[in-house]
Amino acid sequence: MIEASGLRKTYQVRRRRKTTTVDAVRGVDFSVQRGEIFGFLGPNGAGKTTTLRMLTTLLRPDGGDATIAGIDLRRAPAQVRMQIGFVAQQGGTYNQSNARRDLVHQARMYGASKSAAQEQAAAAIAAFQLESFADRNIGTYSGGQRRRLDVALGVIHSPQVVFLDEPTVGLDPPSRARMWQEVRRLRDHGMTIFLTTHYLDEADALCDRISIIDAGLIVAEGTPADLKREISGDVVIVDLSTPGTAGAPEPVTVNEAAKVLAEQPCVRSCETIEHTLRLYADSAATAVPQVMRALSVKGIEPGAIETRRPSLDDVFLAKTGRALAE
Amino acid sequence: MKLARDTWLTLQYEGGLLTRSPINIAISLLQPVTYLLLFTPFLKSVMGVSTYSGAYQIYVPSLLTAMGVFSGMFAGFAMLAAIGQGVIGRFRVTPLSRVGLMLGRQLVFVLLTCFQGVVITVIALLFGLRTPVIDVVVALALLALMVLIGVSISYLLAIFVPTQTALANLMNGVTEPLALLAGVLIPLSVAPLWVRNVARWNPFAWGANGMRAVYQGNIGANVVWEACAILAVIAVIAVTASSRLFDREIEIEIA
């Protein structure tokens, strides 16, 4: 449904008479199948929104090609627009308008007649449960209500592909769960969903397949399960904060612990994140006693040791050397 | 056809938002009405006009020209606000005609300013202006063309200075000379020769002179059709250029 190859975008940033070039997206490839929920996962500033803005015809790519629903993005952006819906991160409504008015206008922009647009707006209000506030000023809506209107506007014309930019950012947990339901409902109606997120749990729970993007390049791609399977074994997290106090350990201690643990035969790799060490081991059950012993030989007392299965954050860490979770 | 439909859609939507808050329209009338009532007496004595009818014949065209020049100010701010709230982005993802999107928004300001022009003319009539209806219609047509140019200028400036404060300063720097060189305070006819020579290159000066001829009963004067022709050509260029350039450059701002 979406095929992208080598998409690139560079910005010229002028600041104090100095022009710097920012490579926002440095050549990304991906393909999204019909009916899929595809996630673009990465930290802020990784190039997610820029990619999305290129795919939705708002930005001209500097290089590379893409087709959406079989239409060439660069040659026929006007035709692409008929097939896609886009929900921007910041939304896109006036506070002094209301949901019904905006939905009718949105449908008319896609060519619907006045009466057809009114019917489509009424249907969208019912489907997204906007009845109780559809005729009130948008300025009075809650964050979740506003987001639901944004999505309703983005799909009023039943597009083949829907692009959602950080659909749950800033939402409280119930609104977030509800947005996930709405996204799945759109997919059940036959739409292909392309969404960006910097939430690991969102990518894990919602997406059929994900691409991890960092600094304008795709560093990993696959189903969440496959990606986690690449990191075989268990994760052992050693927290070196001193027990009973809030004080962080000396950096020397952290470095020494990292060095000694990395030498243990059961530890395959070791990453330092502030004052915790993240160890990748074949089996947590056999690794923990060895870790304890090695640390006590050096006279280091860990604050806590935790073990778990690998997460997408571990995938990100393994690919980029940095942690994604905030 | 699609252009006409999309322009009308945008005009309806944006204009509808404006009329939802009539108080704002009322406030927008305060300044021109104040100038009309308090500045005309000064002009009457400075210019040595014997009647108020004569003074209004001179000042109403100036005031309408000033409204045409400065209407762009509000349009630019409204555009920056719409970009900031993501509304323009949402519209640009739809198949809506790009020129229709810009022209529809511009026509909102044309209608608003023409409405103000009607109110100003009616008040001036109450205070002694004498002018036939057809003359008012021609004057409003000139005003409409000036608004299209003024709004286009502000959209072009908004591309390069995407903050409200910077836009306000730059707009002042551009519109004040345009207004003064169109004779919005003292008519150009009493200006020194070099000012009049410079003003020949100011489309708003042509508008002001054309309107003044109309209000003085010389609707057949050459300057009237010349002003119409010059303003019409520049308005077409300004609207096309601003929507083209805006569509190409807007990406930088939101990114």
**From the CB of residue A2, how many other CB atoms can be counted at a distance below 10 Å?**
22
Contact B255 A11 (CB under 8 A): yes
Give the pLDDT confidence score for residue B202 in this predicted structure: 92
Say which DSSP state A156 is in: T
**From the CB of residue A146, how many other CB atoms can be counted at a distance below 10 Å?**
21
Q: How far is B93 from chain A (nearest CA, A)?
A: 6
Least confident of A57-71, A128-142, A230-244, B70-84: A230-244
B→A interface, C-beta within 8 Å? 6, 9, 13, 16-17, 20-21, 82, 85-87, 89-96, 251-252, 254-255
Band of residue A23 on the pLDDT scale cut at 50, 70, 90? confident
Q: Is the pLDDT of residue A73 over 80?
A: yes
Residue of chain B minimizing CA distance to A48: B255
Determine whether A319 is exposed, middle or buried from the number of CB atoms within 10 Å of its CB (0-12, 13-18, 19+). middle
Give the pLDDT confidence score for residue A184 in this predicted structure: 93
- The residue ranges of every structural domain in chain A are 2-228, 232-309
Cα-Cα-Cα-Cα torsion B71, B77, B82, B83, nearest 10 degrees, comes to 120
**Identity at A193, one-letter amino acid code:** I
Contact A90 B86 (CB under 8 A): yes
Residues in chain A closer than 8 A to B94 (CB atoms): 81, 106, 109-110
Contact A90 B85 (CB under 8 A): yes
Topology of domain A232-309 in CATH is Alpha-Beta Plaits (3.30.70)
How far apart (Å, rounded) are the C-alpha atoms in residues A252 and A66? 50
**Identity at A319, one-letter amino acid code:** K
Of A85, A92, A101, the CB nearest to B86: A92
Band of residue A39 on the pLDDT scale cut at 50, 70, 90? very high
Q: How far is A208 from chain B (nearest CA, A)?
A: 26
Per-residue pLDDT of chain B (255 residues; tens, 9 = 90+): 889 999 999 999 999 998 888 898 898 899 999 999 999 989 888 888 888 888 998 899 999 999 999 887 788 888 888 888 889 989 999 999 888 998 999 999 999 999 999 999 999 999 888 888 899 999 999 999 999 999 998 888 887 776 888 888 888 888 888 888 988 888 888 888 998 899 889 999 999 999 999 988 888 889 999 999 999 999 999 988 888 887 776 654 443
Contact B87 A110 (CB under 8 A): no
Least confident of A178-187, A195-204, B28-37, B199-208: A195-204
Give the pLDDT confidence score for residue A114 in this predicted structure: 94
Residue of chain B minimizing CA distance to A87: B90
Residue of chain A minimizing CA distance to B20: A96
Q: How far is B96 from chain A (nearest CA, A)?
A: 6
How far apart (Å, rounded) are the C-alpha atoms in residues B13 and B21? 14
Give the pLDDT confidence score for residue A141 in this predicted structure: 94
Give the pLDDT confidence score for residue A15 in this predicted structure: 67
Residues in chain B closer than 8 A to A84 (CB atoms): 93
Q: Are A159 and A124 in contact (CB under 8 A)?
A: no
Give the pLDDT confidence score for residue A286 in this predicted structure: 85
How far apart (Å, rounded) are the C-alpha atoms in residues B111 and B117? 10
Q: Residue holding tokens 């003359």?
A: B135
Contact B94 A59 (CB under 8 A): no
Q: How far is A170 from chain B (nearest CA, A)?
A: 16
In sequence order, the β-bridge partners of residue A271 are A278
The pair phi, psi for residue B96, each rounded to 5°, is -50, 135
Q: Are B203 and B89 in contact (CB under 8 A)?
A: no
Residues in chain B closer than 8 A to A101 (CB atoms): 13, 16
Q: Is the pLDDT of residue A207 over 90?
A: yes
Give the pLDDT confidence score for residue B163 in this predicted structure: 80
- Contacts of range B37-43, beta carbons closer than 8 Å, 24 or more positions apart: B37/B123, B37/B127, B39/B185, B40/B127, B43/B186
Q: Is the pLDDT of residue A84 over 60?
A: yes
Q: Are A128 and B52 in contact (CB under 8 A)?
A: no
Say which DSSP state B94 is in: S
Give the pLDDT confidence score for residue B253 in this predicted structure: 43
Give the pLDDT confidence score for residue B254 in this predicted structure: 41
Q: What is the SS3 assignment for A237?
A: strand
Q: What is the SS3 assignment for A26?
A: strand
What separation, in Å, do the N-terminal and C-terminal C-alpha atoms of chain B show? 32
Band of residue A83 on the pLDDT scale cut at 50, 70, 90? very high
Cα angle B10, B78, B107; round to 5: 40
How far apart (Å, rounded) are the C-alpha atoms in residues A97 and B16? 9
Token pair for residue B164?
Answer: 């409200």
Going from the C-alpha of B141 to that of each of A207, B100, B212, B226, the distances in angstroms are 57, 20, 13, 13
**From the CB of residue A227, how many other CB atoms can be counted at a distance below 10 Å?**
26
Q: Are A202 and A325 in contact (CB under 8 A)?
A: no
ipTM value for the complex: 0.86
Of B17, B93, B254, the CB nearest to A94: B17
Contact B85 A93 (CB under 8 A): yes
In sequence order, the β-bridge partners of residue A217 are A214
The pair phi, psi for residue A236, each rounded to 5°, is -115, 120
Q: How far is B171 from chain A (nearest CA, A)?
A: 22
- The residue ranges of every structural domain in chain B are 2-10+51-254
Task: Give kind and range of the element (H or E) at residue A10.
Answer: strand A2-15
How far apart (Å, rounded) are the C-alpha atoms in residues A157 and A108? 9
Least confident of A60-64, A124-128, A215-219, B156-160: B156-160
Topology of domain A2-228 in CATH is Rossmann fold (3.40.50)
Contact A93 B6 (CB under 8 A): no
Contact B94 A58 (CB under 8 A): no
Q: Are A21 and A12 in contact (CB under 8 A)?
A: yes
Residue of B10, B155, B129 lying closest to B71 (CA atoms): B155
Give the pLDDT confidence score for residue A288 in this predicted structure: 87
Q: What is the mean pLDDT of residues A275-289?
A: 85
Number of DSSP helices (H) and strands (E) in chain A, helices first: 11, 14
Q: How far is A119 from chain B (nearest CA, A)?
A: 17
How far apart (Å, rounded) are the C-alpha atoms in residues B152 and B146? 10
Give me the helices (H) in chain B, please.
Answer: 2-19, 22-47, 52-84, 87-93, 98-126, 133-160, 164-180, 193-199, 203-215, 222-254
How far apart (Å, rounded) are the C-alpha atoms in residues B78 and B69? 16
Band of residue A244 on the pLDDT scale cut at 50, 70, 90? low
Q: What is the mean pLDDT of residues A91-107?
A: 94
